[in-house]
Chain A
Amino acid sequence: MQGFSAKHLIAKLRGGIVSPLALRRMGVLGMNARNVHYIARYNDRSKYPIVDDKLNTKRAAKRCGIPSPELIAAFETQPSRARVMEVIEPLWQFVIKPARGSGGKGILVITGRNGDQYVKPSGAEVTALDILRHVSNIHSGLYSLGGKPDRVMIEALVDFDPVFDNYSFEGVPDIRVIVFRGFPVMAMLRCSTHDSDGKANLHQGAVGVGIDLATGRSCHAVQRGLRIDKHPDTLMPFDKLEVPGWRDLVRLAASCYEMTGLGYLGCDIVLDRNRGPLLLEANARPGLAIQVANGVGLGKRLRHIEDFDLEQLEKNVDERVDYAMRQFAAGSGW
């Protein structure tokens, strides 16, 4: 442990803080600006329920022809033990989610069975009783904002495309795309690590990999705020990483604009081995970590789109995707 001295602390603080002017020059979007300029201005409150409730998102996605993981069952009210068992008994693997959970809270993934036990991705085993308790917890609103009673959904486990197997430890890599007024503006891949305990949250130690919108290749990778080249657990270099079917994925994200009607949107997408990109969930308040993962500020790109005239904004999905992939290519200065 390093000796603690005031001098050291000051040096660390000075090294750890950058000038706001420098950030502004970089076009970095801050939390306050995001809330006031983008979320409050472009996201209509009345449309929040579509994204805040994953069951609603799923229904809307189905209507718009956007693929998403298969819904096995949903419990609107507190289900009886027999009802839950009836649903999960025939299943080998499944995911239990709160419909209104925030920040990935309350998601229970079961990847297999071992006799009467259910196996979690980490290898830990839980009993049917634990699962019932989890369902009951979700239902009482433990994971929802403000503790409101919640609905429980049971989804089929996504059959993940093995392309990311070497870039993820235990958990599920997903791709976050920020879509502004229908234009995809930035993308990143979130890879869980041993450090993040299989979770894909960047502040818990997951790796954020910036993905070039033009090509689907990795352009930058960050863990705990520091740039890295390889996955810390699997030691796979990120420069070899390329998302297959990238344009389809970007197109899926862009079409979420029509689906939700939200101007500033974060889409979480996973890759299924057979079905291709699936919409996991959409977020009306996407975080800012994507800037760190890409090493680029969001602000410049958002302002570019804000300057569009009506004609440019009325483009269809394919035109928007083409424009974004051309305009926001990595290394283009954006």
Chain B
Amino acid sequence: MSPRAQVYILAVLLALMGIGLTIYKNRELGFPLLPGEYRTVWTIEAKVSFDADGGPVKAALTLPREQRNMEVLGESFSSSGYGFNIIQQDDEYRAIWSRRTAAGRQSLFYQLDVHQTPGAPLEQPLDLSTEVQKPFLGAREQEAVRLAIYSLVDFARERSSDTETFTTQLLTALGDTGNQDRNLIFGYYKDKSLVDVALLVLAVAEIPAHRIRGLYLEDDRRRLAPEDLLEIYDGKRWVVFEPVSGSPGVPKNFFIWQRGGKSLLDVEGGRNSQVTFSVIANDVPARDVSMLKTSKEKEALVDFSIYTLPIEQQSIFKLILLVPVGALVVVVLRVFVGLRTSGTFMPVLLAIAFIETQLFTGLAIFVLILVLGLWVRFYLSRLNLLLVARIAAVVVTVVILMGAISVVSYKLGIEQALTVTFFPMVILAWTIERMSIVWEEDGPYEVVVQAGGSLLVAVLAWWVMTNRYIEHWTFNFPELLLVLLALILVIGNYTGYRLGELMRFRQLVR
């Protein structure tokens, strides 16, 4: 196979791999393609409080199970002085706080961060009991209530065709304050909620049903009590109802805490126990959400990547990952334009320095050091030094110049010039050395051409490297480096004319 064909095949493979990984990371792991995408992360805090009796205390709180449209990004527990563990009990998770002695008002906290994702909230195949326990409605004083309940069931049954419509009708009737039967029932069950009553009536109608406890996610809510939904079994599957409106389906912002099951909180050794919730919404960069999500799942692509490095190293890598982009700019400018620069990749190093120093400060400092350095170098050249010693002398001079620039500018109040330290000293010294030779051999004009070319390339590289999209892509999708590599390979095969040659050879055409 010819080298050219190999290059193209390799380039296509690399590009496909890079693009494929990028799409995977975007689609499956949720890394945002564009910078500045934010996701809402809800921080839910459950506060368990009770009055301890002074003896041993044990509090058990049911924890939310994994919900399909809510991604749990992290959870934390706070309970000073309490022993803590999580146990599994009938496919529910419960947090258990325990302590040998406690007295007075106790507060325990459980906090979790969730992120809403699109999709159905609940999984259908659910292993919940469909057994119906007929309520005991035998006592004499309940006769009227019993009749009212039967009447309500008949009323709803007449106006419905199946279990689902029956439930809707029933809930509508229970919400209708003009309904005599309803008023009678609620008058009797004064301390029961709508869902309690609905469960009772549904049990009479022999429809399996249970309660769903949860919260409406709304920003900045404090001391919320859990809200209830109703879930019924229509013979084939479970359907959730919002009790007040009677409409089926889980409301949009509803976070399900507990489905079916028993109590939310059990406290032994305490009284007046209660759970209150508070909800706060945070806008978090989409990438952080993906990172949190994937770190829990131990996604190999993320787990074995630079994201696992400490933050400090990551920020260094952020810069290093931009170097290939700068190299691409150099390749493009040399192959397609034919710019002359001093040192092939020196402009990339300059561009990196510019990123730290800001462009204009960087340019000013570079020109200043170059001019002063050349001046010193011309004197040094008259001292008959060996090359290595002379370059070392220039390095020292450059360092002294950098120090002087920092101190003088600081005294003058020009803080930006302090960033002078980001310039690669040895590279600068070599540049000065090369430039001075170019000056001697080819004259000052060539020095200006080469220094100007280097600066132009450096500025262009800087401009590309500081583009927020480029920054975002290189750091969040390092796989794109493969695409970049493919691009460089293909450019390396370009045999057409350079822009400069169109000018250089113009006389040949005429």
Chain A residues proximal to chain B, CB less than 8 Å: 16-20, 22-24, 26, 28, 30-33, 36-37, 105, 129, 132-133, 136-137, 140-143, 147, 197, 201, 204, 222, 225-227, 288, 291-292, 295-297
Task: Say whether B415 faces chain A, with CB atoms less than 8 Å apart.
Answer: no
Query: B residues 458-510 with Cβ under 8 Å of A?
Result: 492-499, 501-509
Closest A residue to B494 by beta carbon equals A32
Contact between A136 and B501, CB atoms less than 8 A apart: no
Which of B441, B498, B502, B503 is within 8 Å of A32, CB to CB?
B498
A18, B503: Cα distance in complex, Å = 7
Interface centre among A132, A147, A297 (most CB of B within 10 A): A147
Q: Chain B contact residues: over half helix, strand or loop, or mixed?
A: helix
Contact between A105 and B508, CB atoms less than 8 A apart: no
12 A/B residue pairs, CB under 8 Å, sorted by A:
A16-B503, A23-B505, A23-B508, A28-B508, A30-B501, A36-B493, A36-B494, A133-B384, A136-B384, A136-B387, A142-B437, A225-B506
Chain B residues proximal to chain A, CB less than 8 Å: 335, 338, 384, 386-388, 437, 441-443, 492-499, 501-509
Given contact pairs A16-B506, A32-B496, A204-B442, A23 touches B388 in the complex (Cβ within 8 A): no
Quote the shortest CB–CB distance from A132 to chain B (angstroms).
Answer: 8
A142, B499: Cα distance in complex, Å = 31
Contact between B495 and A32, CB atoms less than 8 A apart: yes
Closest B residue to A34 by beta carbon equals B495
Quote the shortest CB–CB distance from B97 to chain A (angstroms).
Answer: 69
A24, B497: Cα distance in complex, Å = 9
Which residues of chain A are within 8 angstroms of B442 by Cβ–Cβ distance? 201, 204
6 more A-B residue pairs beyond the given contacts A142-B437, A201-B442, A295-B507, with a C-beta to C-beta distance below 8 A: A18-B509, A24-B497, A33-B497, A136-B387, A140-B387, A227-B507
Contact between A37 and B437, CB atoms less than 8 A apart: no
Contact between A18 and B495, CB atoms less than 8 A apart: no
A141, B434: Cα distance in complex, Å = 12
Closest B residue to A26 by beta carbon equals B508
Which residues of chain A are within 8 angstroms of B509 by Cβ–Cβ distance? 18, 22-23, 26
Given contact pairs A28-B508, A105-B437, A17 touches B496 in the complex (Cβ within 8 A): no
Contact between B496 and A225, CB atoms less than 8 A apart: no
Contact between A226 and B507, CB atoms less than 8 A apart: yes
Which of B387, B499, B503, B508 is within 8 Å of A296, CB to CB?
B508
A22, B384: Cα distance in complex, Å = 52
Quote the shortest CB–CB distance from B331 to chain A (angstroms).
Answer: 11
Contact between A222 and B507, CB atoms less than 8 A apart: yes
Which residues of chain B are within 8 angstroms of A204 by Cβ–Cβ distance? 442-443
A32, B443: Cα distance in complex, Å = 27
Which residues of chain A are within 8 angstroms of B498 by Cβ–Cβ distance? 30-32
Closest B residue to A201 by beta carbon equals B442
Which residues of chain B are within 8 angstroms of A227 by Cβ–Cβ distance? 507
Which residues of chain A are within 8 angstroms of B507 by Cβ–Cβ distance? 222, 225-227, 292, 295
A225, B508: Cα distance in complex, Å = 9
Which of A23, A37, A129 is within 8 Å of B497, CB to CB?
A23
Given contact pairs A36-B493, A140-B386, A142-B387, A31 touches B508 in the complex (Cβ within 8 A): no
A196, B11: Cα distance in complex, Å = 45
Which residues of chain A are within 8 angstroms of B508 by Cβ–Cβ distance? 23, 26, 28, 291-292, 295-297
A275, B199: Cα distance in complex, Å = 118
Interface centre among A28, A30, A137, A296 (most CB of B within 10 A): A30
Closest A residue to B500 by beta carbon equals A31
Given contact pairs A225-B504, A292-B507, A20 touches B386 in the complex (Cβ within 8 A): no
Which residues of chain B are within 8 angstroms of A28 by Cβ–Cβ distance? 497, 501, 505, 508
Contact between B493 and A23, CB atoms less than 8 A apart: no
A37, B492: Cα distance in complex, Å = 12
Contact between A23 and B387, CB atoms less than 8 A apart: no
Given contact pairs A23-B501, A292-B507, A33 touches B495 in the complex (Cβ within 8 A): yes
Quote the shortest CB–CB distance from A32 to chain B (angstroms).
Answer: 5
Given contact pairs A136-B384, A141-B387, A295-B508, A30 touches B503 in the complex (Cβ within 8 A): no
Which residues of chain A are within 8 angstroms of B503 by Cβ–Cβ distance? 16-18
A32, B502: Cα distance in complex, Å = 13
Given contact pairs A137-B387, A140-B386, A20 touches B497 in the complex (Cβ within 8 A): yes
Which residues of chain A are within 8 angstroms of B338 by Cβ–Cβ distance? 31
Which residues of chain A are within 8 angstroms of B501 by Cβ–Cβ distance? 23, 28, 30-31, 288
Quote the shortest CB–CB distance from B357 to chain A (angstroms).
Answer: 27
A133, B497: Cα distance in complex, Å = 42
Closest B residue to A25 by beta carbon equals B509
Closest B residue to A138 by beta carbon equals B387
Contact between A292 and B504, CB atoms less than 8 A apart: yes
Which residues of chain B are within 8 angstroms of A136 by Cβ–Cβ distance? 384, 386-387
Which residues of chain A are within 8 angstroms of B496 by Cβ–Cβ distance? 20, 30, 32-33
Which residues of chain A are within 8 angstroms of B387 by Cβ–Cβ distance? 136-137, 140-142, 147
